[in-house]
Structure 1
Amino acid sequence: MGLVYENMGDYPKALLSHEKAFEIRQQSLPTNHPDLGASYNNIGNAYSDMGDYPTALMNYDKAFEIRQESLPPNHPDLAQSYNNMGLVYENMGDYPKALLSHEKAFEIRQQSLPTNHPSLGDSYTNIGSVYHNMGDYPKALLSLEKALEIRQQSLPSNHPRLGESYNNIANVYYNTGDYPKALSFHEKALSIREQSLPMDHLDLGASYNNMGLVYENTGNYSKAHLFYERAVQNGQQSLPPDHPTLQQRTKNLENIKKKQ
């Protein structure tokens, strides 16, 4: 049930369900049983989704300890633990630790999975994201292109993760000032997201906003206005009025109106 609530975005209920599952497992299983590790991991996910990164990390650490004791060193669940800790470290701005965790996850996945497995694509994506945040755009691009290659081989052509890959690469080009390439990749991301996501999905709104940024920086204010407007409409459907993402999108729209 916890995973269902998580997928619905109801993280408090997800947390409650995961904690109940943990209590039952704690009473009936040995302290180093992998299912206890899974419970800690799920609780960590709920806290991470709610933005409580220190508590998420504490639970991920407990999951990792159990998994390290009870599983072989190249088990996918260990890679999952490294992956999740890496995401939390990245969200906390600790990029060296994030990179180290993602590289460890990648090493395990490389040993235990086929070369075109989507999880390897996820690892390349995460490593690329950290390099991007560190401002190392060449390394970011290299990792993100590898992720895209794997996803192109292993996923349907309109899969949201392909949209994510195109979006990530576009953002790197945007930050390096290569706006034509940024626009090209954002258009590919948007095309996939419009096919595969509901109209109120935040990733779709992110694509609209990103397109607006590129058009604004190339001086095409009318198109920037159009995409910022769509981004705001998307946010209004799915976010509370005081949410920082919606506020930023609204600010972008207001600023572009002043330039026209």
Structure 2
Amino acid sequence: RRRLLGDEHPDIAQSLNNLALLYHSQGKYTEAEPLYQQALELWRRLLGDEHPHVATSLNNLAELYRSQGKYTEAEPLYLQSLELRRRLLGDEHPDIAQSLNNLALLYHSQGKYTEAEPLYQQALEFTRRLLGNEHPDVALNLNNLGGLYCSQGRYAEAEPLLQQALELRRRLLGEEHPDVALSLNNLANLYSSQGKYTEAEPLLQQALELTRRLLGDEHPSVATSLNNLANLYYSQGRYADAEPLYKQALELRRRLLGDEHPDIAQSLNNLALLY
């Protein structure tokens, strides 16, 4: 594209954005950020501020900042993206559901549960209405709302949503997909929170194995899986099993996320609790 179209073309911005999405998915956050920023700048310059591609770019950069724990940087970008999408696309568009879901994820990550819940619910309702019940985005919304209920200790409400999400992802995406690993992990965390350790353990082990196989050892999701399995062992008093996993998770998070990330605090806290 650069060779044929030159640097000042919307397709270049699309390529930059897509390459950034790949790096983002691989947990290569420092490689993704400048590409997202270049894509946003290029789309703004070529298409103007009032264009759906600009809204997509704002959303993607906000997602990256949320992944990095830069919540105060992410929020204004999410809000701009949502406002722009509403203005350009109207309320009845799947991108609105995506924006609502992502803003809810941000509030969820910040512990603002009462702000997150109505956004998750709206996103789920929109997605079902616009895309039908048999769509991966429905599974995503079910998973996220179930995760929120789990965070709030509303386990009876969380369980059917997390189970539906897992079942739907398996049916639509097959067993060999990172989203299936995510669902296994979240359902296991629910069981662990309820003290159902024998039900949780095989799910956590499957999630860890699947994540490693699909995403490689050097990925933040692997660190999350290691941490969650260690949490289970800690809850069972299996301290010798938990310690190496906590240490691996902390080392991996430091390497991938840097020292200034909320997940580092979580890992330090968990290792301290173990000791």
Q: What letter corresponds to residue 13 of structure 1 in structure 2?
A: P
Structure 1 residues 194-213: aligned runs within 5 Å: 194-213=212-231
Q: Would you say 1:156 and 2:174 are equivalent positions?
A: yes
Q: Distance in 1 between matches of 2:254 and 2:74?
A: 29
Q: Distance in 2 between matches of 1:237 and 1:54?
A: 23
Q: Distance in 2 between matches of 1:44 and 1:226?
A: 33
Structure 1 alignment gaps of length 5 or more: none
Q: Report the RMSD for the aligned CA atoms in angstroms.
A: 2.7
1:243 Cα deviation after fit: 5.5
Structure 1 residues 24-173: aligned runs within 5 Å: 24-25=45-46, 28-29=47-48, 32-173=50-191
Q: Distance in 2 between matches of 1:77 and 1:86?
A: 14
Q: Distance in 1 between matches of 2:72 and 2:166?
A: 31
Q: Would you say 1:4 and 2:19 are equivalent positions?
A: yes
Q: What letter corresponds to residue 133 of structure 2 in structure 1?
A: T
Q: Contact between 1:18 and 1:42, CA under 8 Å: does it hold in 2?
A: no
Q: Distance in 1 between matches of 2:123 and 2:51?
A: 21
Check 1:79–1:233 CA distance in 2 against 1; reply closer, same or farther (3 A cut): same
Length-normalised TM-score, structure 1: 0.84
Q: Distance in 2 between matches of 1:22 and 1:182?
A: 46
Q: Deviations over 1:4-37 (max 9, x none)?
A: 2352312541453144134314xx44x6432333
Structure 2 alignment gaps of length 5 or more: 1-15
Q: Distance in 1 between matches of 2:246 and 2:125?
A: 40
Q: What letter corresponds to residue 197 of structure 1 in structure 2?
A: L
1:253 Cα deviation after fit: 5.1
1:165 Cα deviation after fit: 0.5
Q: Contact between 1:2 and 1:13, CA under 8 Å: does it hold in 2?
A: no
Q: Distance in 2 between matches of 1:247 and 1:41?
A: 26
Q: What letter corresponds to residue 102 of structure 1 in structure 2?
A: Y
1:131 Cα deviation after fit: 1.0
Q: Distance in 2 between matches of 1:129 and 1:239?
A: 23
Moved more, 14-23 or 244-253: 244-253
Q: Contact between 1:117 and 1:154, CA under 8 Å: does it hold in 2?
A: yes
Q: Distance in 2 between matches of 1:69 and 1:254?
A: 49
The equivalent position to 2:37 in structure 1, one of 16, 26, 29, is 16
Q: What letter corresponds to residue 29 of structure 2 in structure 1?
A: G
Q: Distance in 2 between matches of 1:54 and 1:245?
A: 16
SS in 2 for 1:135: coil
1:109 Cα deviation after fit: 0.8
Q: Contact between 2:36 and 2:57, CA under 8 Å: does it hold in 1?
A: no
Q: Contact between 1:128 and 1:140, CA under 8 Å: does it hold in 2?
A: yes
Q: Distance in 1 between matches of 2:72 and 2:264?
A: 25
Q: Distance in 2 between matches of 1:83 and 1:216?
A: 32
1:40 Cα deviation after fit: 3.1
Q: Would you say 1:187 and 2:233 are equivalent positions?
A: no
Check 1:46–1:167 CA distance in 2 against 1; reply closer, same or farther (3 A cut): closer
Count residues in correspondence: 254
1:149 Cα deviation after fit: 1.0
Q: Distance in 2 between matches of 1:9 and 1:190?
A: 21
Which consecutive segments of 4 or more residues in structure 1 shift more than 4 A? 241-244, 250-256
SS in 2 for 1:74: coil
